[in-house]
Amino acid sequence: MLTMLGAPDELQDIFLKPHPERGQTFIGGVFMTDIVVRSSLLEPAAQPLIDGLVSEYDGRYGAASRPGGARAEIFRYPVSLFSHPLGDFLLLQRDGETVAGGAFMSHDDETAEMKRIWTHPNLRRQGLARVIVLALEESAAQLGYTRSYLSTGFRQPEAVALYLSLGYRPLFDTSADPSLYRSLPFEKHIGQKGRAGGNNADLPARSLVRRGDCAGHGTENRPGSEDPGPAGEPRRFRRMTARLPACTDDHSPF
């Protein structure tokens, strides 16, 4: 079931601030109404995002770039990871049609990992991806995350430009040939740290990840990877019991 953000107990702050999520866009002499809704990969409203990601990534990197192509990658994680209390899945709809979207899941107790960020190819350069990323950051902050992590592919310079414009810190050598890297990772302070004016340059340095390497991620916490903590101490988040292999392609650009 789709849930419009801003309903009681549903991220009201997003709509109390002057974000464009609840505004109108003037296109071709017609005012188009944009709203952000909470959804799921299993909802029919998410199908344009799924089909768009498959077309985009299989087209840019080739369907044989990973077993099963982009569609298998989209569904590699349980849908529950992209819902509260671990994550979220948001769609931007314009007059009832899905035109952009994205999600996040838990990377560790402090970090939300942004995934599945997409904008309709005919509606780009309107700031829709920016709206989605900001809404995802807001949602993640309300779940208690203080850091956002994401990655994009080396054949997506427009995504790199977007994340840099949003204040993300690149975790790779921006002066090097992007094709040297398996993917291009970024991080950013969000939530309390972001509002406190935390400098993303102060974030702990992560290892650079070249194509074919697993450096920098084999030792980072994934869902289910934390120790349970002292006896009787409740976890802020309950992770999945199965740990993801340390050397899987977790630097997926989508």
What confidence score (pLDDT) does residue 68 get? 79
With 0-12 / 13-18 / 19 or more C-beta atoms within 10 angstroms meaning exposed / middle / buried, residue 230 is exposed
User: Per mean pLDDT, which of 26-35, 58-67, 214-223 is the most reliable?
Assistant: 58-67
Q: What is the pLDDT of residues 103-119, one digit of tens each?
A: 999 999 999 999 999 99
The chain-wide mean pLDDT, for the chain, equals 76
Check residue 115 and give its pLDDT: 97
Question: Tens digit of pLDDT for each residue in 187-236?
Answer: 999 998 877 766 565 555 444 444 333 333 333 333 333 333 333 333 34
Position of tokens 């990655």? Answer: 151
**Is a pLDDT exceeding 70 seen at residue 172?**
yes
Whether the CB-CB separation of 136 and 103 falls below 8 Å is answered with: yes
| Percent of the chain surpassing pLDDT 70 | 66
Which pLDDT score, from 0 to 100, does residue 69 have?
Answer: 83
Of 185 and 225, the structure prediction assigns the larger pLDDT to 185
User: Taken in order 86, 23, 91, 61, is the CA torsion positive or negative?
Assistant: negative
Residue 1 is predicted with a pLDDT of: 65
* Cβ-based neighbours of 226, under 8 Å, separated by 6 or more: 108, 109, 235, 239
Gyration radius of the chain over CA positions: 18
